[in-house]
Structure formats: C-alpha cells, structure tokens
Amino acid sequence: MAKSKTKLPKLKERILEQLRAVRQPVYDPTKAGMQLPESMTDDQISLTGISGSGQPPMGKQEIKYNLDWLRGALQSACEIELFTIPPYLYALWSIKDQEHYAAKSIRKVVMEEMQHLGMVCNLLKAIGATPDLTSEGRYPEYPEDLPDMIHSELEIGLSPFSKTSTLNFMEIERPYRLGQVKQYLSVWSQESYNTIGQLYDAIAEAFKKLEPDLQLAGQITGPRAPMAISSVEQAISAINQIKTQGEGSIDDPNDPDGGLAHYYSFGELHHGNKFDRNTGKWTGEAISEAETFDILDVPKGGFERNKLPPQTTKVLDDFNILYYDTIKGIETAWRAGRYPGFMSALENMFSLITIARDLMENHHLEGKGLGPEFLLRSE
C-alpha cells in the first residue's frame, strides 16, 4: 500500500515516524484512513496520539443482538484477552531486573489481563456457555494479528522489551477516542470494531437489550478470581472494569484502583517518562532504562529444531507442554466450575518464568538468546 503523501506539520510527522520506524509492523493511522487536520494545534496533539477527535461509530448497520451473537462475542473476547498475555510475558521476562519499574508495570498488566480473561469466562458461564481456549484455530501462533480482525494492520510477535514492543502494546490497548480509524468486519458477526473497547461496548449493549437470565452455576469465584455475575448490572460492571483497566475511561487515564490504565502504563515505558496527569502527556519523572537479555524474536511456528542442540529443544518443548497444561487447566476449570483448578493454572503461568529465563540466559542461536515459543503442544 502506498504511503500517504499528505504534508503534515513537523509535530504530526514525528508521531507517524514513531509508528513507522520500528522493527515490527505497527499500526499506521494514515494507512487506515485517519485524518490529521492541518488546523490541529500542538495542545491538541501529543505523542499519546490525537485527542478530542470523538468516538468513531462501530458501523452504520444495526446489530441484531441474540444469545448466539452474545456467545460469539464473549468467545471472541476470551481469545483476545488470552492473546495479549504471551507477548506481555515475553517482554516482562526479558527484563533482567524483575524489580525494575518496567517489570513491575508489565507484571501488573498481566495479572489484570488474566483477571479479565476470568471475568469473560464467568460472563460466558452466566449465559450457559463455556469458554473454548485450546481448539484448533482458537489459539494464535505468533507473530499474529489480533483475533476477530480488530487492528488487522497490527501484527504482534514475541519480542523482548523495547520501545518497539511497548508501542505495539499501546496500540493493542489504544482508546478509540484517540482518533477515528478504518473499520474492519468481525469474522464471526460481520460487524466492525476499531478497538477492543468497542467490542466490549457492543457486548454491554447486548446484555442491556437482551436482559438474559444469568446463572451462577459453573462460575469461578474466590481470592484472585473474578467476580460472580448474577445480574445484568454486574455484567455491565465487569465489562466496565475490563475497559477502564485496559484503555481508560473516556476522560480519565486512571484504572478503577487509581493506577494507570494499560494504555497509559505502556506509554510510560515507551516514552521513558511517567505520565503527568496534569498535562495529559508523558512528561513526568524519567524512568531508568531497563537492561534486557539479548534475545531473538520468536519466528512463526517456533525455532527450527534442526538448528538447535537436543538439550535446547527439550527446554523449548518443556515450556510449551507446561504452557498447554496451564491454558487447558484454565479451560477445564471453567468447564467443571472448580476454583482450585483455576488457582493451579494461575500458579503455573508464573512458574513458567524459570524455564523462560533459562532459555534466555543459557540457550543461544546465532549468538543471541532464545525465548519461549508459547506454542500449545500437549506432548
């Protein structure tokens, strides 16, 4: 696709250069039909994106909500929440000092993403459905587009922590108020969604319109587990929590606990400065640079085994098998409605760091360390 030839003021061009001059394919607003008005002032534009541009519509067609639609939308939301976790973990584990500000920030995001996954699983159980996380076609092999054609110009891979990876993470979590972008048709419903937040808006609207009878049977609750959903009001509350923790609310970058929403948190790590709530920009206290392992990005389908010694292949396979057990454990927990199964899977997710760090520190290819492939392999 040819690049836009629109002449832009220097400040606007600098924003686009940040989006283009990276190793991975990154979302480019000019390619997606986003208009950058020549009259926009420096106060209206910052390296966060474009503010004050309003909320783009989800599409002119009227959505015909029914329970099948709602099941499909929630299944898609499950896949999206699960999709984000491996790239975030890969970046987290590549940071040498796990007590560094960047590591703590990403770890918090991962914990919240896992809680979001649990909330969506409970929403599915509330309407009599069960999450499917491991069937063929449900789980990505990175690099991969986000599920359901959301941000279809953005390919996310497994890469070490860097300005490139955090910029991509910002795009995953981007609030749709930061500029109208091209719309893409949902694979399963043929509606169009520009951002993850818009999909959740549609899900919330479906709950309001359908007012389905909700059941507690099979839902998982408990310490570190999601809230139970027994009413439409609780369903809307859960959806709002997912949205505000991820992209922030319409006018507030804070999450419900008073911390930063994921978009703004990743922005701190990308720009190297804390977010200044007074100016609405990343111009606060400087964040020290995080030292990372010199590791490779994971290629599609994983590393070629014929280039690796047997002991390295075994470590890679051990990780994949344990990761499969973890995701299968989450799926099984919700099929059976068993809280201990959920907690066991949660503990497995973070015990994977031992294998991942062994790969990064002690196993090399072409002079660089390796990282976990996050492939679902049962054996």
The string of DSSP letters for 249-286 reads -SS--B-TTSSB-HHHHHHHHHHTB--BTTTTBS-SSB
Q: Position of tokens 């994983």?
A: 302
Angle 32-152-118 from CA coordinates, rounded to 5°: 130
Say what the pLDDT of residue 248 is.
Answer: 56
Angstrom distance (rounded) from CA 356 to CA 254:
32
CATH class of the region 67-271:
mainly alpha
Sequential DSSP letters for 123-156 = HHHHTT-----SSTTTS--SSEEPGGGTTTT-EE
pLDDT confidence of residue 195? 80
Which pTM value belongs to this model? Answer: 0.81
Q: What Rg do the C-alpha atoms of the chain give, in angstroms? A: 21
Task: Provide the 10 A C-beta neighbour count for residue 149.
Answer: 16
For the chain, 379 residues long, the average pLDDT of each consecutive 10-residue run is 37 39 34 33 31 36 82 93 96 98 96 92 96 89 82 86 96 68 40 76 94 95 82 95 76 75 94 92 96 98 96 96 93 90 82 94 96 88
Query: What is the C-alpha to C-alpha distance for residues 310 and 327, in angstroms, rounded to an integer?
Result: 26
User: How much is the pLDDT for 313?
Assistant: 97
pLDDT of residue 53: 30
The amino acid at residue 162 is S
Give the model's pLDDT for residue 52. Answer: 29
Q: Rounded to the nearest 10 degrees, what angle do helices 196-210 and 232-246 cross at?
A: 170
Q: Which residues pair with 46 in a beta bridge?
A: 49
Cβ–Cβ under 8 Å, residues 250 and 177: yes
| DSSP H helices in the chain | 10-20, 67-93, 101-126, 163-173, 196-210, 232-246, 262-271, 310-336, 339-362
Q: What angle do CA 176, 181, 184 make, to 5 degrees?
A: 100
Contacts 24+ apart (CB under 8 A), 228-232: 228/122, 229/119, 229/122, 229/123, 229/126, 230/126, 232/207, 232/208
Q: What is the pLDDT of residue 46?
A: 32
SS3 24: coil
**At how many degrees (to 10) do helices 163-173 and 67-93 cross?**
160
> For residues 47 and 271, is the Cβ–Cβ distance under 8 A?
yes
Reduce the DSSP state of residue 330 to 3 states and report it. Answer: helix
Cα gap 11→138, rounded to integer Å: 41
